[in-house]
Amino acid sequence: MRGPDQIALPLDWPQGSDDSRFIVSAANQAAFDHFQRWSSWPVRSTILTGPRRSGRSLLARNFVARVGGRLFDPADRHDEEALFHAWNQAQETGRPLVMVADHAPPRWEVSLPDLRTRLAITPVTTIEQPDDALFAALIRRLFADRGLHLPDEALRYVGDRVTRDYWTAERVVEAIDRFAIAANARLSLPTVRRALISGGIIEGGQEE
């Protein structure tokens, strides 16, 4: 049951030992569904891209643990010969290979020709920057991890004024928590305003 000061968010929370850490929204639904439908992949390998801190490693780890696959993370900084052999092995055994990378080829520049041809036929799925719902849910969860609850009005204030990306979500929570501790202040809208300004996350003119 939701408390009186919580926002109802249109999100799916997958069940499982570690799956509940991965919050599904429109920003990552395609990637989440891609792993649910892995039996239909054209080859037993896939490339998962997306911003760092987006949960891409978590999604990949949960998947390979569930199906007995193999993970290279980050694949784009891994030995190419090892990747080549792992790709072939995945096809032979039927146990899927997941390669997490910042970008897919050709932005991921691959030198080994045999690996390059295999990656060219490997499906790619991508996690995007967070939408409004996911960003709010991330802020909520990061505060909850610290045993804290951010009031709705303060959450809306943050969402209206900061850049919505995964790094910023973590930076915002850290800045607010540190400021509140130093000022011995409760998590209220005025505290959040002052914390974001003090941390250089927003300009002082955005206070109102």
Q: Do 47 and 106 have their domain in common? A: yes
Q: Are residues 106 and 184 in the same domain?
A: no
Whole-number percent of the chain with pLDDT over 70: 88
Is residue 20 included in any domain, yes or no? no
**Structural domain that includes position 201:** 132-206
Residues 202 and 152 in one domain: yes
Q: Which helix (H) or strand (E) holds 99?
A: strand 97-101
Task: Specify if 103 maps to a domain.
Answer: yes
Instruction: Choose one of 126, 161, 183: the last residue of a domain.
Output: 126
* pLDDT tens sequence across 49-104: 999 999 999 999 999 999 999 999 999 999 999 999 999 999 999 999 999 999 99
Provide the H-helix boundaries in the chain.
29-36, 56-67, 80-93, 113-120, 132-145, 152-161, 166-183, 189-198
pTM of the model: 0.86
pLDDT of residue 17: 45
In this structure, the answer to whether residues 114 and 139 fall within a common structural domain is: no
**Average pLDDT score over residue span 14-18:** 45
Of 126, 153, 168, the residue at which a domain comes to its end is 126
pLDDT of residue 161: 95
In angstroms, the CA 105 to CA 97 distance is 16
Q: Give the residue with greater pLDDT, 179 vs 7.
A: 179
Whether residue 197 is contained in a domain is answered as yes
Q: How confident is the model at residue 40, as a pLDDT? A: 96
Do residues 119 and 143 share a domain? Answer: no
Does the pLDDT at position 168 exceed 90? yes
Q: How far apart are CA 83 and CA 99, in angstroms?
A: 9
Q: Structural domain tally of the chain?
A: 2
Q: Are residues 113 and 145 in the same domain?
A: no
Kindly state whether residue 105 falls inside one of the protein's structural domains.
yes
CA-to-CA dists, residue 129 to 78, 163, 170, angstroms:
25, 10, 14
CATH of the domain at 193: 1.10.8.60
**Given pLDDT bands bounded at 50, 70 and 90, which one contains residue 15?**
very low
For residues 119 and 140, membership in a common domain is answered with no
115 inside domain: yes
pLDDT, tens only, 113-165: 999 999 999 999 999 999 999 999 999 999 999 999 999 999 999 999 999 99
Of 207, 146, 198, 203, give the one whose Cα is nearest residue 177. Answer: 146
Answer yes or no: do 143 and 76 share one domain.
no
